[in-house]
Chain A
């Protein structure tokens, strides 16, 4: 068959789909299932050369995996499997968190002065109380290490890192490492002359800013505040670790509804005290390199300790009064939930370490608490008076 014949075949829809399948196999996105595909896979050297995972080193005859369902057998409903898995993960996670907490408390001076009050981890857990008569102290937690690098509360800050645009007040030199997750906050677009020209040329269209970190889905927000009371910032419903950031951050400018990237900025970001303090300046460019505009991106603390949800703000307020938070203020957020739990009472946002310390202190008091990212929190919070 000639190339011309192939292209003629390619122009037919059915044929196009077959070529897509062939292309995906050739791209190694699908497993080879014919001898010719296998031969090409061999030519591409797809055979695994490293050390096999432990579970694959020898064939062990065993009943079918619980994950891949048995033929002609009634299956366990997948949701049950999922929840079973989640339940097990939660139990293991809690045990691991406790172990890590104890281990890190011994080893790491940054962590955690949980206090010697009856609410400390390891203390006897009192029965849950709804009474506000004896508030239990939660915090303050001494999380600061001996070496700090930035922020107004850090005596060793360089002048350029004293006043942080991110509003962080104390950045430990060891921050921005490990498994900490950051919430992505971006500012609105400041268009360049070219960007302004393009916007003026398209008065009926609106721009959006879309962000992808490592392999995450794109998360988009409006490029400009459209109402006077709209925030100058947008907190995206996504988090990223230092590893994710290093894998690459892509920011795209798109005309809303058109799906194509008009301008783009893409770089790996090494998170460090400077980035945590000053944020990142993003300059989106057209494919020919012409800048369209710039915007700021910050890595915010991501964790909230959620103490409960209810449709009654009064009930949530009473729930908070059981505790006396020191160094942090409980607040109520409206959530996007339309059923029970329209409001959530939380403390945060804060670092993972502080959030875990807070959560354990609350749990030790016999109350409920969980870590959340607050993706469904809506608008600004209402601070809860605790006195």
Chain B
């Protein structure tokens, strides 16, 4: 098993041979559990509080869901082992991300998941590489208040579910408002103000460095 690629292991998981499927599950789990637990542990605590799940729960559920849907894992040929692992981990991250969104949604007692069926692994990788601007954005985010960061993080969570202009559901905005003892209108105002501050921060950083347009 140790020699198998991730795609090969997912292939075994999705077949009928229970013994081999379990061995493949165990191998995939050992390869990636430390990574997944590591990155999910770093996420903002407010996400888990709003979703009412623990990091451990989310890790376990992510693997369970990945194995359940192993047949949908699409291998990309000619990738070296490291890049293949990145791809697997991106897929696991995407599943975890959607489970988290779904768990937050669950708090408003909706009966079906709107997001998880959209899981695919063949999307283009459009995230920007690390650049001075990205570093400025990251520093700008760090300069915001905890409340502003919470609001932007929750909103960003919903922007990532694959639909353009994904709007924060009212019930989620309501939970967020309760968490900070403010109104939903204030949540929107805080988001708007945070974006304005961020834009100001990044623009100032660019001006200082002579990078501004």
B35 touches A33 (CB 8 A): no
B133 touches A32 (CB 8 A): no
Interface residue B61 (Cβ < 8 Å from any Cβ of A): yes
A6 to B97, alpha carbons, bound, how many Å? 27
A215 touches B180 (CB 8 A): no
Interface residue A339 (Cβ < 8 Å from any Cβ of B): no
B53-86: CB near A (< 8 Å → 1, else 0) gives 1101111110111010000000000000001001
A45-77: CB near B (< 8 Å → 1, else 0) gives 011110011011011111011011101101101
Pick the residue among A29, A38, A60 that contacts B90 (CB under 8 A): A38
Interface residue B126 (Cβ < 8 Å from any Cβ of A): yes
A20 touches B26 (CB 8 A): no
- Chain A's closest residue to B212 (CB) is A7
Interface residue A225 (Cβ < 8 Å from any Cβ of B): no
B109 touches A79 (CB 8 A): yes
A58 touches B26 (CB 8 A): yes
- Chain A's closest residue to B87 (CB) is A35
A56 to B131, alpha carbons, bound, how many Å? 35
B33 touches A59 (CB 8 A): yes
B-side interface size class: 35 or more
Pick the residue among A17, A62, A68, A212 that contacts B103 (CB under 8 A): A68
Pick the residue among A10, A62, A81 that contacts B202 (CB under 8 A): A10
Shortest CB distance B124–A (Å): 9
Interface residue B188 (Cβ < 8 Å from any Cβ of A): no
Tell me whether chain B's interface is mostly helix, strand or loop, or mixed.
Answer: helix
A75 to B110, alpha carbons, bound, how many Å? 8
A48 to B34, alpha carbons, bound, how many Å? 5
Interface residue A107 (Cβ < 8 Å from any Cβ of B): no
A65 touches B141 (CB 8 A): no
Known contacts A20-B156, A65-B60, A69-B103, A32 near B137 by CB under 8 Å:
no
Pick the residue among A20, A81, A82, A259 that contacts B195 (CB under 8 A): A20
Known contacts A3-B133, A59-B26, A62-B64, A24 near B53 by CB under 8 Å:
no
Shortest CB distance A273–B (Å): 32
Interface residue B52 (Cβ < 8 Å from any Cβ of A): yes
Known contacts A7-B212, A19-B134, A42-B86, A75 near B179 by CB under 8 Å:
no
Pick the residue among B38, B53, B134 that contacts A26 (CB under 8 A): B134
Known contacts A22-B137, A32-B93, A11 near B22 by CB under 8 Å:
no
- Chain A's closest residue to B112 (CB) is A72
A59 touches B111 (CB 8 A): no
A75 touches B90 (CB 8 A): no
Shortest CB distance B178–A (Å): 11
A49 to B153, alpha carbons, bound, how many Å? 26
B89 touches A32 (CB 8 A): yes
Shortest CB distance B103–A (Å): 5
A52 touches B138 (CB 8 A): no
B152 touches A24 (CB 8 A): yes
A130 to B149, alpha carbons, bound, how many Å? 53
Pick the residue among B54, B90, B157, B193 that contacts A259 (CB under 8 A): B193
Shortest CB distance A50–B (Å): 9
B residues sitting closer than 8 Å to A (CB atoms) are: 22, 25-26, 29, 33-35, 37-45, 52-54, 56-61, 63-65, 67, 83, 86-87, 89-90, 93-94, 96-97, 99, 102-103, 106-113, 116-117, 123, 125-135, 137-138, 140-142, 146-147, 149, 152-153, 156-157, 159-160, 179-181, 193, 195, 198-199, 202-203, 206, 211-213
- Complex A-B: 26 CB contacts under 8 Å: A3-B133, A3-B211, A7-B213, A8-B213, A20-B198, A21-B160, A22-B127, A23-B141, A27-B142, A29-B141, A31-B93, A33-B90, A41-B35, A48-B34, A49-B38, A56-B59, A59-B63, A62-B60, A65-B57, A67-B54, A67-B61, A69-B102, A71-B112, A72-B113, A78-B52, A78-B107
Given known contacts A68-B99, A217-B179, what 10 new A-B pairs fall within 8 Å (CB)?
A19-B128, A21-B159, A23-B138, A33-B160, A34-B90, A56-B59, A61-B25, A62-B64, A64-B64, A212-B146
**Which 10 residue pairs of A and B lie closest in terms of their CB atoms, listed nearest first?**
A23-B137, A48-B38, A59-B29, A28-B42, A68-B61, A6-B133, A3-B211, A35-B86, A33-B94, A38-B86
